């Protein structure tokens, strides 16, 4: 081989081709011509090639994968003098080739799925070798001949793309399809080599993109955890409303969320419960829906498929994307109507597994028309969802620990009362003794029920709201005696009975206990009044708890806006909302009144 890197076989081939053109040159002359080409033309050609590769390496890695690949497509078209280039990437979930667009645009959908089997793109993926098509109109594997014929395209070179990934996901496999107008085109080895070579630097750009992504991913995870642990470090406990408000903005690069909901799945897997939502005011926290009657819930909880990409939705084990809420069969009519009124155009469901079964799932509503999400984006949202489930458990635990105080004081107080009665030699049939023992039994059972609410919700039942109010008022009276607050005058005003409501009995007891406790604590040291009232108003049962209280305008505004630092009011607001009720506060000179309004039911 000579210094030009041209062996004897190449020399003979060039000599014979020159002879065909009428140039009969000696081997020395042919060698001289090759040298001239290298010195005069090769330098410019190689420099231009290096420039084009440099353009690819300088592509901003913060762009999307689609934008990066289309910039590479543009480079290929300009350098090879082609008519157009399109990009196909293999999607293992779709079991097909997803179009990432073209340069110039072919006016095809950016998410159009092209079959994998018996296609040119599929063959290139399988063999990882380029595929030459001198005449598209005679190529059996090229299916959409009408489009290229209309564009005047007649030949094509398909070069493989192979991009390594760093995560558990498989590498990216794809194809650049380079189109020419020339019919029966003869592709030179140089064209083939350049096409394959230009696609290789794309891996470098995608690697930079991946590094940037991992950095951003970790930053976002850190911020989510920071919001949670900051609350814990301050000793404030977790409030889902505050957590959602602080964390949702961290997800804006993935999805501009209008609404977000966290559902839990009951142990029998027959119902789903709305545990938390963003914004909180727009959700019916505590609402229960049937898995059998909600097709989307059945698909998420049972995970039986069918999986794949369908006309209105994409269904996979790790996410469900409803790209057309009004066209899908997964959503019931009431949810469709709500989404339409909110102008929601895509809904994303993220199942959250624990011990191989779905125990929670997250729902994101967006006005943007999302068509697909990357594995990395789904991973980020899944991480966010699992942290939310931890926060929900922490919130419940904080609430329960807060509410343990009331029954614990009652148990201690009535235990002393029983002891005192027995010391005084009371008969076992003594009415006061029986009443105290009855309350002791109920309150110890209540402590047990509070602990169990970490794992289960119990059952709803119909109770008389007035009767619950009177019982909790009686227990609060003894708690005040234990705390030496005998200077508080307790007044029972109008108490209409029965006022039947349907709820979890534990919930309404916790609400009234918290309000009575807050009211008692707010009464100044010199004493004051604490009164209760209940009555019917149209189709509602109403409870009022009033107390003497000196309160500033700032504190009054905080109470009205539910921005107080205390946990009790937050618990009350959430539980009353769960019971489909309303709660509000009114403050006037020296007095403050908390009111609860709950829907009446027939016993």
Regions of the chain with pLDDT less than 70: 1-7, 10, 38-43, 45, 106-112, 163-170, 203, 206-207, 210, 213-214, 217, 220-221, 223-242, 246, 250, 253, 280-284, 394-458, 482, 553, 556-568
pLDDT at 11: 73
Residue 116's contacts (CB-CB under 8 Å, 6 or more residues apart) are 90, 95, 96, 97, 122, 125
Q: Which of 456, 483, 516 corresponds to the end of one domain?
A: 456
Sign of CA dihedral 388, 390, 395, 399: positive
Q: Note down the domain range covering 77.
A: 59-209
- Domain count for the chain, please give it: 4
pLDDT at 406: 61
pLDDT at 552: 72
Quick one: 308 and 357 in the same domain?
Answer: yes
Distance CA 486, CA 530 (A): 12
pLDDT at 111: 45
Quick one: 428 and 472 in the same domain?
Answer: no
Q: Is residue 464 part of a domain?
A: yes
Sign of CA dihedral 184, 187, 191, 193: positive
Quick one: 84 and 204 in the same domain?
Answer: yes
Quick one: 260 and 356 in the same domain?
Answer: yes
Q: Is residue 337 part of a domain?
A: yes
**Which CA distances in Å does 9 have to 12, 26, 27, 29?**
5, 14, 11, 16
Angle at 142 between CA 136 and CA 146, to 5 degrees: 70
**Which CA distances in Å does 405 have to 399, 401, 472, 591?**
11, 7, 14, 25
Quick one: 191 and 65 in the same domain?
Answer: yes
Quick one: 362 and 440 in the same domain?
Answer: no
Distance CA 325, CA 354 (A): 28
Quick one: 469 and 595 in the same domain?
Answer: yes
Quick one: 452 and 464 in the same domain?
Answer: no
Q: Is residue 214 part of a domain?
A: no
Distance CA 274, CA 278 (A): 11
Burial 300-338 (b: 16+ CB within 10 A, else e): bbeeeeeeebeeebbbeeebbbbbebeebebbeeebbee
Q: Is residue 188 part of a domain?
A: yes
DSSP 267-289: TTSSEEEEEEEESGGGS-TT-EE
pLDDT at 2: 44
Q: Which of 161, 193, 209 corresponds to the end of one domain?
A: 209
- pTM, whole model, 2 decimals? 0.55
Q: Is residue 4 part of a domain?
A: no
Q: Is residue 125 part of a domain?
A: yes
CA-based nearest residue to 91, from 345, 306, 316, 350: 316
pLDDT at 116: 83
pLDDT at 498: 93
Q: Is residue 146 part of a domain?
A: yes
Quick one: 244 and 379 in the same domain?
Answer: yes
pLDDT at 106: 64
Quick one: 445 and 470 in the same domain?
Answer: no
First CA to last CA distance, the chain? 102
Quick one: 478 and 558 in the same domain?
Answer: yes
- CATH number where 281 lies: 3.30.450.40
Quick one: 585 and 506 in the same domain?
Answer: yes
How many helices (H) and strands (E) are present in the chain, helices listed first? 18, 21
pLDDT (tens digit, 9 = 90+) per residue, 550-567?
A: 777 677 666 655 544 455
pLDDT at 500: 95
Q: Which of 193, 209, 225 corresponds to the end of one domain?
A: 209
Q: Is residue 257 part of a domain?
A: yes
């Amino acid at each position: 081989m000579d210094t030009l890197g041209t062996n004897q076989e190449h020399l003979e081939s060039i000599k014979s081709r020159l002879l065909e053109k009428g140039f009969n040159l000696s081997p020395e002359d042919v060698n001289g011509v090759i040298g001239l080409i290298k010195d005069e033309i090769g330098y410019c050609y190689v420099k231009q090639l290096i420039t084009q590769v440099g353009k690819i390496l300088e592509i901003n890695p913060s762009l999307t994968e689609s934008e990066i690949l289309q910039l590479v497509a543009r480079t290929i078209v300009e350098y090879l003098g082609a008519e157009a280039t399109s990009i196909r990437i293999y999607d293992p979930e779709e079991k097909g080739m997803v179009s990432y667009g073209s340069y110039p645009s072919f006016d095809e959908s950016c998410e159009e799925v092209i079959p994998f089997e018996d296609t040119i793109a599929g063959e290139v993926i399988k063999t990882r070798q380029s595929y030459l098509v001198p005449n598209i109109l005679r190529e059996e594997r090229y299916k959409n001949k009408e489009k290229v014929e209309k564009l005047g395209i007649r030949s094509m070179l398909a070069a493989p793309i192979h991009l390594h990934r760093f995560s558990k996901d498989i590498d990216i496999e794809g194809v650049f399809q380079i189109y020419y107008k020339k019919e029966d085109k003869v592709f030179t080895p140089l064209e083939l080599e350049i096409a394959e070579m230009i696609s290789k630097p794309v891996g470098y750009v995608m690697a930079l993109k991946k590094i940037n992504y991992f950095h951003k991913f970790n930053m976002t995870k850190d911020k989510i955890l920071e919001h949670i642990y900051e609350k814990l470090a301050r000793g404030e406990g977790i409030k889902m409303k505050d957590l959602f408000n602080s964390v949702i903005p961290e997800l804006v690069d993935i999805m501009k969320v209008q609404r977000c909901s966290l559902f839990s799945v009951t142990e029998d897997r027959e119902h789903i419960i709305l545990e938390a939502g963003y914004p909180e005011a727009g959700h019916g926290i505590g609402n229960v829906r049937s898995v059998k009657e909600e097709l989307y819930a059945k698909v998420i909880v049972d995970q039986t498929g069918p999986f794949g990409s369908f006309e209105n939705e994409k269904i996979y084990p790790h996410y469900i994307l409803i790209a057309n809420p009004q066209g899908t069969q997964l959503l019931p009519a009431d949810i469709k109507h709500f989404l339409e009124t909110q102008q929601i155009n895509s809904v994303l469901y993220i199942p959250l597994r624990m011990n191989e079964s779905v125990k929670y799932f997250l729902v994101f509503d967006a006005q943007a028309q999302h068509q697909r999400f990357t594995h990395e984006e789904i991973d980020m949202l899944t991480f966010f969802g699992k942290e939310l489930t931890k926060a929900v458990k922490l919130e419940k635990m904080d609430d329960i620990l807060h509410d343990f105080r009331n029954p614990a004081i009652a148990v201690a107080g009535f235990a002393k009362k029983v002891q005192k009665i027995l010391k005084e030699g009371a008969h076992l049939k003594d009415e006061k003794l029986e009443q105290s023992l009855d309350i002791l039994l109920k309150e110890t059972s209540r402590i047990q029920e509070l602990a169990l609410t970490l794992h289960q919700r119990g059952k709803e039942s119909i109770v008389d709201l007035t009767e619950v109010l009177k019982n909790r008022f009686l227990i609060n009276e003894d708690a005040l005696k234990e705390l030496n607050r005998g200077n508080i005058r307790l007044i029972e005003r109008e108490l209409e009975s029965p006022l039947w409501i349907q709820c979890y009995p534990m919930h309404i007891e916790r609400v009234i206990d918290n309000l009575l406790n807050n009211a008692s604590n707010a009464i100044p040291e010199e004493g004051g009044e604490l009164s209760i009232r209940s009555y019917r108003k149209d189709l509602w049962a109403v409870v009022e708890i009033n107390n003497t209280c000196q309160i500033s305008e700032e504190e009054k505004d905080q109470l009205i806006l539910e921005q107080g630092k205390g946990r009790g009011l937050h618990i009350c607001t959430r539980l009353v909302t769960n019971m489909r009720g309303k709660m509000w506060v009114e403050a006037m000179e020296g007095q403050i009144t908390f009111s609860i309004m709950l829907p009446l039911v027939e016993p």
